[in-house]
Amino acid sequence: MPTSQNKTEPPTTRRLRQAREQGNVPLSSQLTSAILLIVVFILLTYQLQTISQTYQSITLDTFKTALTQSLNNDSILTSIVTAAAAALDLLLPVISIIFVLAILIPFLQVGPIFTATPLKPKLSRINPFTGLIRNLFTSNTLVTLLVTLLKIIALAAILFFIVRDNLTNAVLLITHPTPFILQSVGRIIYTFILHTALLFLALAFIDFFYQRHKHRKDLRMSPEERKREYREHEGDPLAKAERKRIYEQFAVSNMLADLPSAHIIITAPSLAFALRFDPESESAPRLIAKGPALIAQRINQLARQHDIPSTRDTTLADQLNQLPLDTQIPEHLYESLASHLRWAELMHRAQGVTPPWADNF
């Protein structure tokens, strides 16, 4: 079994696709939380005055009701319902935006993915020997712990500097009226939340890139795994070579089966080419068979069996060797081939056969 030290190869596209199908994607929950915190902070900042005025009005109405009417279950229930309705009216847009962003932000990170694999129960996750203890000491757990400690330290530092900068003013607040005190405390809280949100956002972007790096690192493969995947995807090299050999044999058999219709054979050392020319159906001679070595020997053997004229021309053979099988001869080879066709015509007539091009060539 390959160890992590042997997994030095980057993951293949197939491995990444399989991981995605199993729900293993580089998702940063820190980024989602940080953006949601900033959005909530912005929305509440813009609605703070409205919220304050609404609840101030509700409070005044409640006290007026208490002074002018006797308190009973109905009046208390009415006050509670009124306060709840006002809260819902104010917070419903915020909650709706948070709900949409909570879905949209992960979607933008990893794209569309629908799988139930991460939800399937696994006993190994709760087994104290194979699941819980092992998961407590993973690199991801250690990084999460480190980030949490950094957040606590950073929050403590932010709180310390804010308190230090406002300590003198805070002591003097007791001499000011209540609205001024509330406004000053609100500014301090606002500053603390703003710095906290910016800190969380910075850490979230670091976590975003770390999760992507870690995801590809965790999916790295050993050279043996890459070879095994290649065999599974492309097939065993020996079997693939055998299929290729069978296909080539089949193609050669089909090619040689058409050879008796050839009118001339052009040869060279270890090469042979069979040409057919019928001006009534084609405008130029066609290369119907070609091959080196053993295939060339077979072409020559069949040519002798069917009395097909054969001539040697190394230069023309080299040019024919560059042409694909079953293609017409290009115009720049007409002149080189013309003398061979005239000679082949004489050979065919000597056998009592008139070649198709005799009256048109």
Q: Where are the domains of the chain?
A: 13-231, 241-350
Partners of 312 in the β-ladder: 267
pLDDT given for residue 8 in this prediction: 80
Given a contact cutoff of 8 angstroms between Cβ atoms, the answer to whether 268 and 313 are in contact is yes
Helix-strand-coil percent breakdown of the chain, rounded to 5?
70, 5, 20
- pLDDT for residue 135 is more than 60: no
Given a contact cutoff of 8 angstroms between Cβ atoms, the answer to whether 98 and 40 are in contact is yes
pLDDT tens, residue by residue, 49-70: 776 677 677 677 766 666 666 6
- pLDDT for residue 144 is more than 80: no
pLDDT given for residue 261 in this prediction: 87
Quote the tokens at residue 124. Answer: 């190994």
Q: Using the CB atoms, write b or e for 140-156: b if 16+ within 10 Å.
A: eeeeeeebeeeeeebee
- pLDDT for residue 10 is more than 80: yes
* Largest separation between any pair of C-alpha atoms in the chain: 135
Quote the tokens at residue 215. Answer: 């995801």
CATH of 241-350, one of 3.40.47.10, 3.90.226.10, 3.40.1690.10, 3.30.1490.70: 3.40.1690.10
Can you give the pTM of this predicted structure? 0.51
pLDDT tens, residue by residue, 162-181: 888 887 777 777 777 777 77
Average pLDDT score over the chain: 79
